Amino acid sequence: MPDNATETFDIVAEDLPDWLKEAGVEKTDTVPDWLIDTITVEVEQPEFAGEAEPMPAPAPTFLPIPVAASPAPVPMPVRQIDVAATLESARGKVNSDVSGALQDYEAIVRANTALDAVVGDLTSLIKQEGYKANAGIYRVLGDGLMRQGRLQEALDTYRKALNLL
C-alpha cells in the first residue's frame, strides 16, 4: 500500500448500490484513510525448513482438589421372605394377576434365592402366546439373569423389554 492518505480505484456509478444512491452518496475515486486500514492484504507465510519443534505442555493453572476416599458401600439388608411360599404364590397368580406374580418373583430375585426357579418360570412364561408382549416379565427375567451372572443374556432380555415399551 502506498503511504499516501488515499488510493484511487476505478469505481463506476453503476457499482453503487441503490441504498447508497438514495442516501446521497456520490461517486468518488478516493478511499478514506479509515477504510484503507480495514482492507486486508495477503502476506506471504515463510516456509519452514525442516520439522517444527513441539510446543511444551502448558503448566497447570490450577491446583488439584484433593478427593476424600468414599467409604465402602454397605449392602442393603435383604428382606427375609418365605421363598417357597412366595414362589408358590407367584406361580398361582400368573394366570389371574400377572403384575402380582411379577412382584412376588421380583421379591425372590431381590432376596437372591431360588434364582433358577424364577428364571425357569419366567422363561417358560414368555414362550406362551399371551405373555410374549409383556415388558415387565422381560425386566424381572433380566434381573434374575443378572443375579445369576449371565450378563449377556440379561442385556439381551432388557433390550427386548425396552423394545416392547
What's the rounded Cα separation, in Å, for the pair 119 and 109? 9
User: Is residue 60 a part of any domain in this protein?
Assistant: no
pLDDT value of residue 99: 87
Report the candidate in 103, 106, 82, 101 with the shortest Cα–Cα distance to residue 90. Answer: 101
pLDDT value of residue 165: 84
Q: Which of 14-23, 45-54, 73-82, 88-97 has the highest mean pLDDT?
A: 88-97
pLDDT digits (tens, 9 = 90+) for 59-95: 766 666 777 776 766 655 556 788 888 889 888 888 8
Whether residues 25 and 88 share a domain: the answer is no
Task: Return all residues near 164 (Cβ < 8 A) that are at least 6 apart.
Answer: 133, 134, 135, 138
User: Is residue 147 a part of any domain in this protein?
Assistant: yes
pLDDT value of residue 64: 67
Whether residues 106 and 152 share a domain: the answer is yes
Higher pLDDT, 97 or 18: 97
pTM of this structure? 0.52
Query: 125 lies in which domain range?
Result: 83-164
User: Is residue 13 a part of any domain in this protein?
Assistant: yes
User: Is residue 55 a part of any domain in this protein?
Assistant: no
Computed over its alpha carbons, how large is the radius of gyration of the chain?
39
CATH of residue 134's domain is 1.25.40.10
Task: Return all residues near 114 (Cβ < 8 A) that are at least 6 apart.
Answer: 83, 87, 108
Whether residues 87 and 160 share a domain: the answer is yes
pLDDT value of residue 5: 46
- The half-sphere exposure of 54 on its side-chain side, counting CA atoms within 13 A, is 3
User: Is residue 10 a part of any domain in this protein?
Assistant: yes
Whether residues 96 and 40 share a domain: the answer is no
Whether residues 90 and 35 share a domain: the answer is no
Based on the structure, what is the number of domains in the chain?
Answer: 2
pLDDT band at 51 (very low <50, low <70, confident <90, very high): low
pLDDT value of residue 1: 46
Whether residues 87 and 41 share a domain: the answer is no
Whether residues 91 and 39 share a domain: the answer is no
pLDDT value of residue 82: 84
What's the rounded Cα separation, in Å, for the pair 136 and 133? 9
Whether residues 93 and 140 share a domain: the answer is yes
Q: Which of 8-22, 56-70, 123-137 has the highest mean pLDDT?
A: 123-137
pLDDT band at 19 (very low <50, low <70, confident <90, very high): confident
pLDDT band at 139 (very low <50, low <70, confident <90, very high): very high
User: Is residue 69 a part of any domain in this protein?
Assistant: no
pLDDT value of residue 81: 81
What's the rounded Cα separation, in Å, for the pair 4 and 35? 13
Whether residues 92 and 148 share a domain: the answer is yes
